Structure 1
């Protein structure tokens, strides 16, 4: 059995060239609904644990103004990840990337309109540190968006078993538990989409 801990990047370094063939594209509709909870225009997004830019490709079409030629209104999505091989793939697709740890976001306070974590929170070693850093980085009225998997569903139980089989020690939450967790960290949490692949948003108080 492989010896991966939560947040361990070795597995993702190995699978980076094939990752996008194995994973479907990030779903635009629930992410758009979550970003719409923001009380400020969403033009700058930090996609934490964003890997190959799989979610960033979707997010790029959801942020910014209506005119792509307007330099002020144009959206900006930055992919942050610890796996340099995943980021190598993202850069080859022209995504702006930063190699960094999810618990220490290399941005000033109130620097972005949204932080997203798509299908990756369960791999993060210190989820509280990530959420606290995201709250610090997001400007008042902006949002922290988390898409993840409900371990209490049929497919969720299968996913938990599969990740344990390959050596991960992933930590999953139900959507309601995650919304309450965001509330305890000072965000206005709500479930945007329930189900196996759910989306929860926490808005930073204005």
Structure 2
């Protein structure tokens, strides 16, 4: 299997677009006290902008080379798969997944794990390419041709996965390319 993210780690940030930080802050109700997990956070490109808005932030990714870039940014980094989180129950107050859910092997298992490690009242925010949009369909084809094993879901499907994991979820469509889905763990 090709390690696409390991191969691109040193120049990844130069080619990937910037998320809407204002939108992410509203979704996660930042600034806030507590701990936040950036799951699939790779190089820490998003976490670096949000770390001062929470007490403690951890970047989680399966790619050691991507996490090496996060460590260069002085971010706490943990190598693990989202489907098997090495954290205790109710450990995080906020979890962010930016442009990564489609790369997880089992999205439902990952969301179940996020719900497990969220504290009551905690928030899960997912920014994901909207597969209903034609440009995203082209990206999906390209990632298939590159053998990236990506699996895109519609915002409604992601919201339903959150609901099956016990989170109350809502969807907020974006411009041509993005969708945002927020899940909240009941108190």
TM-score range, shorter-chain basis?
over 0.9
Structure 2 residue aligned with 1:200: 181
Task: Give the drift of 1:177.
Answer: 2.0
Aligned length: 186
> 5+ unaligned residues in a row in structure 1: which ranges?
5-9, 65-74
Higher RCO (CA-CA < 8 Å; seq separation 6+)? 1
The whole-number CA distance in structure 1 between the counterparts of 2:153 and 2:50 is: 23
TM norm structure 1:
0.84
Residue 162 of structure 2 corresponds to residue 182 of structure 1: yes
TM norm structure 2:
0.92
- Per-residue CA deviation, residues 30-81 of structure 1 (Å, 9 max, x unaligned), is 2112112x9xx453111111100012123225x33xxxxxxxxxx2210011
- Per-residue CA deviation, residues 96-151 of structure 1 (Å, 9 max, x unaligned), is 11111111111111111011111000000011111111111010001111111111
- RMSD between superposed Cα atoms in Å: 1.8
Bigger Rg over Cα? 1
1:1-206, aligned counterparts within 5 Å?
Answer: 3=1, 10-36=3-29, 41-61=32-52, 63-64=53-54, 75-195=55-175, 196-206=177-187
Which region of structure 1 is more displaced relative to structure 2, 123-132 or 173-182?
A: 173-182
Do the aligned partners of 2:40 and 2:97 also contact (CA within 8 Å) in 1? Answer: yes
The whole-number CA distance in structure 1 between the counterparts of 2:156 and 2:23 is: 16
Which region of structure 1 is more displaced relative to structure 2, 84-93 or 172-181?
A: 172-181
